[in-house]
Amino acid sequence: MAAPIQRLTRLASKTFSRFNAAEGFQNDRLTQLSSAFNEITAADVNFDPEVIRERDRLSTDKAPVTYIHLWEDDTFSMGIFVVKRGGRLPLHDHPGMFGLLKVLHGTLKLSSFSETGETNVPVEMTQPLQKWQVPLVKSVKLETETNLSAEQGCCQLTPTSGNFHEITPVTEMAAFVDILAPPYDQSGSRDCHYYREMPVPGVDTGSGSKDSRWIIRVPQPMDFWCDSVDYTGPLLDPSDT
């Protein structure tokens, strides 16, 4: 009998292969995938936080985030992100991609946003910018701001909903499995971009609604980088039957 993570890998391949082949996307498949994803635990992928802690204790250059690669092909990618206290996955996008996130260990804070399509950037916000920076400004609205733990189900994003998000650990360490479909493509139209929120001149950021925000694309933040460790769970192959 296939292990739960093996079954999830095959289901993810079936779920997103039609989407990648431009044959339409079936929401019932995404529902089935989410249901299976909700059952995945740290034990299913042989994730032990003590392995990361011991490795960091022996390291002279501890990365704020550790990545464990599980699978990637043209249809989807899957991996585990381990975010340590003081680290974060900065606000970034998933252009044209579906994403699912399931916490394995600890608690994290997830803030996700959707683009509104508003293009009339307030003049007072563009004045401090260089001309080339103005097209990098986007208007977004808050979709989710919540804490997630291993006891909760997976969180979803789509190409149009929650496609920008930031993740920070609430506990000393938080680990989650991430499924992206299609995967990033640095040579094409699906490269990862980073953003920061822009203050609105004359507005008290501590009062009023913060659901609507302006963000601007920035280089990868200096405080974010990853190291990696090997995956030691069950072998994965979506083509297995």
Structure tokens at 172: 């000393």
128: CB partners within 8 A, 6+ apart: none
pTM: 0.90
Which of 35, 33, 43 is closest to 10 using CA atoms? 33
Q: Where are the domains of the chain?
A: 49-228
Q: What is the pLDDT of residue 212?
A: 86
Q: What is the pLDDT of residue 202?
A: 55
pLDDT tens sequence for the chain (241 residues): 789 999 999 999 999 986 644 445 557 888 999 999 999 999 999 999 999 999 999 888 889 999 999 999 999 999 999 999 999 999 999 999 999 999 999 999 999 999 998 888 888 888 888 889 888 999 999 999 999 999 999 999 999 999 999 999 999 999 999 999 999 988 777 899 999 999 876 554 444 356 889 999 999 999 999 999 999 999 998 876 5
Q: What is the pLDDT of residue 23?
A: 47
- For the 49-228 domain, the top CATH level (class) is mainly beta
Query: Rounded to 10 degrees, what is the CA torsion of 110, 111, 112, 118?
Result: -170
**DSSP 3-state of 13:** helix
